[in-house]
Structures are given as structure tokens and as C-alpha cells.
Amino acid sequence: MAEDQTHQSLSAETEPATRLPPDPAIAELADHGRNDFLSVVRDYPTSALCWALLAEGALMAGTEEADIAGYAYALTGCHHGMAALRAEGWQDEGTVPWGHLTNQGLLRCVWARSVAADRIGQTEEAHRCVEFLRRFSESAWEVLHTTLVVADTSDTADAPDHADTPDTADGSDNADTSDKARESRDDGGQPAAEQTVGSTAQG
């Protein structure tokens, strides 16, 4: 096991890393939050972050209908995120670091797709998404896998207990996100959206 972990670490150091370009939806979400969320989605329908927020909000509702909607949202976000990734030169290999704010929408969609697929009985797809996420970014897996597993419950009575899950995904387990957001502002003029993530997803 230790040898496998060492191999993964060495691979992560040597594989090329891809950073997605600035996402203008991040700035819009930071400015408008849940009050104007759907208009941001309409204005930026290729933003993986928007679809991640929709998926996370649906998956926390705790109903079969919402799980199906969450799957569709996550699938859409993965489609747009992967298209953007390939446009940046990614060719089925290399990492997509969680530490880059602009990568987080796609990574969150991949995890949300895994959770949703598992809930609707697509176990193999759920496992593939987990493998894909860990191949992209082990750090993303470490941040995300516990938070959305907590929200993954068939007992709807427990749903209110997990209402802060998206904030946890971008907050307590990723305390340096605001620093990454400032870095993103320097690189692409984007402020942080993490403060709006939890409330928007629940809207």
C-alpha cells in the first residue's frame, strides 16, 4: 500500500497539470449569489461551477426526483468542463489540481456525478467517476468525498442536518480557498465565489 501511495505521489509530480481558464461566472456568483443565481446560469451555461452548484443543491434535497435532477446537472457540468479542459490541451492524461479555483467546478461536478450515479443505481459509473476524480486530483478527492457522502442518505428526515454540506466542501476542508480566489483575481480578474456557494446551492 505504501508503495502504491509513493507511486501516486511521484506520478502527480511528473504528470503535466492543466489549469482551466478564468470563469466569469465566479465573479457573477460572488456579486449576486442566490438572489440572481438562475440568471447567472443562463448567462454562463458552460460554467462547470454553475452546474456543480445545481447538482449539489439537488443532491441535498433527499428525494429520488432530486437525485435524478442532480445526476443530469452533474453530467452537464462534466460535459462542459471536459470540453474546456481539452481546449486547454489536456489529452486524457495529467492532473487537474484542486488548488486552482477555476478547476474546482469541474472537479465538483465529477464528484457530484459519482454520488448521483450511485443513488440511482449506476454503481459502475459511480466507481469510474471516483477513479477519474482521484486521477485528476487526489486533493479534490480528500476535500470532497466526505462532505457529499454525508449528504448521501435515503432518510429524508436527516436532510436538514446536512444543510451546510456545500459550505464544508469549500470551507472548513479548504481553508485556503480565499487565498486561491485572490490569486485567481490576479490571474483573471475574478473574485472568490466560495462565500456564495453554500447559500446558492441551497436556493
Residues 6+ apart with CB under 8 A from 182: 192
| 10 domain-assigned | no
| 3 domain-assigned | no
| Domain range for 160 | 24-202
Residues 6+ apart with CB under 8 A from 71: 55, 113, 116, 117, 119, 120
| 19 domain-assigned | no
| 5 domain-assigned | no
What is residue 92's predicted lDDT score, i.e. its pLDDT?
83
For helices 177-188 and 194-202, the axis angle rounded to 10 degrees is 110
pLDDT tens string 46-64: 999 999 999 999 998 889 9
Query: How far apart (Å, rounded) are the C-alpha atoms in residues 51 and 177?
Result: 19
pLDDT tens string 93-114: 889 999 999 999 999 999 999 9
| 193 domain-assigned | yes
| 18 domain-assigned | no
Residue 41 has pLDDT above 70, yes or no: yes
Query: How far apart (Å, rounded) are the C-alpha atoms in residues 1 and 80?
Result: 35
| 99 domain-assigned | yes
What distance lies between CA 98 and its chain's CA centroid? 9
The CA–CA distances, whole Å, from 105 to 8, 38, 123 equal 23, 16, 23
Residue 88 has pLDDT above 70, yes or no: yes
The CA–CA distances, whole Å, from 146 to 76, 88, 143, 149, 172 equal 23, 30, 7, 5, 12
Please choose, from the candidates 1, 2, 17, 54, the residue with its C-alpha nearest in 3D space to the C-alpha of residue 140: 17
How many structural domains comprise the chain? 1
What is residue 188's predicted lDDT score, i.e. its pLDDT?
40
Q: Which has the higher per-residue pLDDT, 1 or 107?
A: 107
pLDDT band for 149, please (50, 70, 90 cuts).
low
CB 143 within 8 A of CB 174: yes
| 8 domain-assigned | no
